[in-house]
Amino acid sequence: MSCVTFCTCDVNDCPAHPRKHGDECAPCIEKNLKHHEIPYCFWNKIGETGNADSPYSFLKFAKAVIDGENP
């Protein structure tokens, strides 16, 4: 299954977006790891969104998961 079929990222202008090349999610994951960030699709999964002024840091993601914890 191609990751493009389940990708929830709507940042379509990102050069690492899976629809921009044939390398699936690898460029996105590589970019995020380089910047110590969590991919946008993970933020979508927990119902959070971000913006260019707000980095998708590991710590911010962990706090968002804990704060949004639901049974």
Distance in angstroms (rounded) separating the CA atoms of residues 70 and 50: 20
Q: What is the pTM of this model?
A: 0.74
CB 71, CB 40: distance < 8 Å: no
pLDDT classification of 56: cutoffs 50, 70, 90:
confident
Backbone CA torsion sign across 52, 54, 56, 57: positive
One-letter identity of residue 56: Y
pLDDT value at position 1? 56
Question: For residues 67 and 1, which has the higher predicted lDDT (pLDDT)?
Answer: 67
Side-chain-side CA neighbours of 40 within 13 Å: the count stands at 20
